[in-house]
Amino acid sequence: MRLLAVFLSLYLVLSAKESYEIQLFETKSKNDNLELFLQKGKAAGLKCYKGDEKRDDGVYYYVRCAKTDNLKMITQSLTLAKDANLEYKLLKIKKSEKIVESKNSNEEIKLINDDLSGKIFGNNEELLRILFNKNMISKGELDRQKEIYLKNIASSEKFNGLYMKGNTKKNFTKDRLGYDVRVEWSLFDDGYFGSQKDAQKKILQKELEFEQNIHKYRNSNLQLALHKLQSVSDFIDFLFLKQQESILLQSFQKAQKDYNDSLITASKFYEYKKEYEKVKRLLNFYKNTTLEPYDLKLKPFIETIENIIILNKSDLIRQAYKNAFVFKNIQNKIEKTYIEDDWKDRLKTSVYLENKKYLFLDNDSEMIAGVQVQIPLDFKGSDSEAKLIERQVYSLQKENVKKVVTNKIESLYHKIEYYKNYIKSLKSEIKFFQQEAKSLHIKLRYLLPHQERDIKLKLRALNINISKQFQEIWQKRTEIFKLLLKLENLSGTKLVPAT
Is residue 128 located within the same domain as residue 92?
no
DSSP 319-378: HHHHH-HHHHHHHHHHHHHTS---GGGG-EEEEEEEEEEEGGGTTEEEEEEEEEEE--SS
Residue type, position 428, single letter: S
Reported confidence tier of residue 421, pLDDT bands at 50, 70, 90:
very high
Pairing of the two strands 48-55 and 58-65: antiparallel
Q: What is the pLDDT of residue 106?
A: 37
Query: Under a CB-based contact definition with an 8 Å cutoff, are residues 59 and 28 in contact?
Result: yes
Say if 349 falls within a structural domain.
no
**CATH code of residue 288:** 1.20.1600.10
Give the end of a domain, one of 98, 130, 148: 98
If asked whether residues 199 and 78 sit together in one domain, one would say no
Which domain CATH number covers 42? 3.30.70.120
Identify the domain containing residue 80 by its residue range. 2-98
E strand or H helix at 211, and its extent? helix 192-260
- Is residue 166 pLDDT above 70, yes or no? no
Whole-angstrom Cα distance, residue 136 to residue 129? Answer: 10
Amino acid, res. 123: N
The full DSSP string for 427-473 is: HHHHHHHHHHHHHHHHHHTTS-GGGHHHHHHHHHHHHHHHHHHHHHH
Does residue 393 sit in helix, strand or coil?
helix
- 48 and 138 in a single domain? The answer is no
Query: Could you give the CA distance from residue 316 to residue 163 in angstroms, rounded to a whole number?
Result: 52
The phi, psi pair for 261, rounded to 5°, reads: -90, 10
Question: pLDDT band at 379, cuts 50/70/90?
Answer: low
> Under 8 Å CB-to-CB from 374, ≥6 apart: which residues?
347, 348, 349
- Statement to judge: residues 231 and 337 lie in one domain: yes
- Better-scored residue on pLDDT, 486 or 70: 486
> Would 277 be classed as within a structural domain?
yes
pLDDT digits (tens, 9 = 90+) for 139-163: 666 677 777 777 777 666 666 666 6
- The answer to the question of residue 496 being in a domain is no
Task: For strands 121-122 and 87-93, give the pairing.
Answer: unpaired
Are 8 and 138 part of one and the same domain? no
Asked whether residue 173 is domain-assigned, the answer is no
Reduced to 3 states (helix: H, G, I; strand: E, B; else coil), residue 63 is strand
Q: Which residue has the higher pLDDT, 19 or 392?
A: 392
Whether residue 178 is contained in a domain is answered as no
Residues 33 and 83 occupy one common structural domain: yes
Q: Are 210 and 304 in the same domain?
A: yes
Residue 260 lies in a domain: yes
Q: Please, are residues 224 and 230 in contact by the beta-carbon 8 Å criterion?
A: no
Prediction pTM value: 0.65
- Does 287 reside within a domain? yes
Higher pLDDT, 491 or 14: 491
**Distance separating alpha carbons of residues 328 and 322, to the nearest angstrom:** 8
Whether residue 70 is predicted with pLDDT greater than 80 in this model: the reply is no
**Judgement on whether residues 29 and 144 belong to the same structural domain of the protein:** no
| pLDDT digit string, tens, across residues 457-483 | 788 888 899 999 999 999 999 999 999
Contact present, 384 and 343 (Cβ < 8 Å): no
Question: Residues 6 or more apart from 97 whose CB is under 8 A from it?
Answer: 448, 449
Q: Which residue has the higher pLDDT, 117 or 74?
A: 117
Which DSSP string corresponds to 85-136? T-EEEEEEEPTTS-----TTHHHHHHHHH---HHHHEE--HHHHHHHT-TTS
- The answer on 136 and 57 residing in a single domain is no
By the 8 A CB rule, do 71 and 107 touch?
Answer: no
Neighbours of 344 (CB within 10 A): 17
Q: Is the pLDDT of residue 232 over 70?
A: yes
Which residue type is seen at 100?
A: V
Q: How far apart are CA 483 and CA 308, in angstroms?
A: 12
Please indicate, yes or no, whether residues 334 and 421 belong to a single structural domain of this protein.
yes
Look at residue 355 and tell me if it is in a domain.
no
377-406 mean pLDDT: 78
- The per-residue pLDDT for 121 is 92
CB contact at 8 A, 372 and 350:
yes
How far is C-alpha 477 from the geometric centre of its chain's CA atoms?
6
CA distance 131 to 297: 12
- What backbone torsions phi and psi does residue 186 show, to the nearest 5 degrees? -90, 135
Q: Let me know whether 134 and 42 are in one domain.
A: no
Structural domain count, the chain: 2
Residues 6+ apart with CB under 8 A from 76: 44, 46
**End-to-end CA gap in the chain:** 74
Maximum distance among all alpha carbons in the chain? 161
Asked if 485 contacts 496 with a C-beta cutoff of 8 angstroms, the reply is yes
Contacts of 295 (CB under 8 A, 6+ apart): 121, 122, 123, 124, 125, 127, 128, 499
Are 299 and 405 within one domain?
Answer: yes
